[in-house]
């Protein structure tokens, strides 16, 4: 399998950069006229996958909304992930897992091709230390998977931890620099964090050299307070639409030279359950993002 960064670049080139979050929480199921049950979950998920998997570059199911329905909910997700990938969509599992040792190794199995819920990439949390994610990095590299590491999120109290200073850098910057290191050949956790200049020669926009290890940076930040130069991998930017972010915010925060994966959830999902309206909502966002 080609590396995740290459598969992502190919999908974006063919379909545009839009990522649609699949977040089937109870109120949304109700708004669609569906029961908050495994049956309602399946009908919702089938409708989204059928409408979008052959046109949208990235689909991002939120694992928690399937876990809350137990094993039947996970069975719905397993089927949806397989069908979405077969239709050509890149599937990013929004799991935000973070642990150590064998536990992190087990979470990383979502990136293993033989796993029942095998996905292209997943979100992970680094706040047990950079080394805690090494099993996930190793699994991603072995199987061509991708990771998006929480770095600078835009929820209101995120700065409580992410702005804390570690040495001369904020915690958020240390996370970004660590991912930059993972995208730098020969660097391992424990080495000095690489300077920005060390990664400048790595491609940071979508293309053949797009790295497979990226970060999560919110699209609703007032200003970009981390240095992303030379990251060498993609940036997942949630928060467009109902959360207040816009295509203009993406340009303001990230410019035009970075591999940004903008994420929309409610503004697309609220158009359902009619498949034509779902596709139209996604198409509008794609046109705005590439315009």
Asked if 20 and 57 touch (Cβ cutoff 8 Å), the reply is no
Joined together, the tokens standing for residue 44 give: 């919702």
| End-to-end Cα spacing for the chain | 32
Q: Is 139 helix (H, G, I), strand (E, B) or coil?
A: helix
Asked if 212 and 144 touch (Cβ cutoff 8 Å), the reply is yes
Taking the C-alpha atoms of residue 232 and residue 145, their distance in angstroms, rounded to an integer, is 15
**40 Cβ contact partners less than 8 Å away, ≥ 6 residues apart:** 29, 32, 34
List 96, 115, 277, 284, catalytic entry: 96
Reply yes or no on whether 96 is catalytic. yes
Q: Is 43 helix (H, G, I), strand (E, B) or coil?
A: helix
Asked if 109 and 168 touch (Cβ cutoff 8 Å), the reply is no
**Residue whose structure tokens are 């992502």:** 8
As annotated, the active-site residues are: 96
């Amino acid at each position: 399998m080609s590396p995740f960064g290459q598969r992502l670049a190919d999908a974006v080139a063919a379909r545009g950069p839009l990522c649609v979050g699949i977040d089937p929480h109870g109120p949304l199921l109700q708004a669609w006229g569906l029961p908050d049950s495994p049956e309602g979950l399946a009908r919702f998920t089938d409708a989204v996958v059928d409408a979008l998997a052959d046109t949208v570059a990235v689909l991002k199911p939120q694992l928690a909304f399937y876990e809350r329905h137990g094993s039947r909910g996970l069975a719905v997700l397993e089927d949806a992930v397989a069908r979405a990938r077969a239709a050509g969509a890149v599937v990013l599992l929004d799991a935000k897992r973070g642990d150590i040792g064998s536990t992190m190794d087990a979470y990383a199995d979502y990136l293993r091709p033989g796993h029942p819920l095998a996905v292209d990439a997943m979100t992970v949390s680094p706040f047990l230390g950079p080394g805690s994610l090494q099993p996930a990095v190793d699994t991603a590299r072995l199987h061509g998977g991708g990771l998006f590491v929480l770095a600078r999120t835009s929820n209101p109290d995120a700065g409580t931890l992410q702005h804390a200073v570690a040495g001369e850098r904020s915690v958020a910057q240390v996370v970004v620099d660590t991912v930059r290191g993972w995208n730098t050949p020969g660097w391992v956790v424990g080495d000095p964090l690489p300077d920005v200049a060390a990664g400048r020669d790595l491609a940071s926009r979508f293309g053949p050299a797009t790295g497979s290890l990226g970060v999560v940076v919110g699209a609703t930040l007032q200003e970009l307070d981390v240095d992303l130069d030379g990251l060498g991998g993609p940036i997942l930017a949630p928060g467009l639409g109902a959360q207040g972010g816009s295509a203009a915010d993406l340009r303001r925060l990230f410019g035009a030279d970075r591999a940004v994966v903008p994420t929309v959830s409610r503004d697309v999902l609220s158009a359902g359950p009619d498949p034509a309206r779902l596709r139209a909502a996604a198409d509008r966002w794609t046109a705005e993002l590439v315009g």
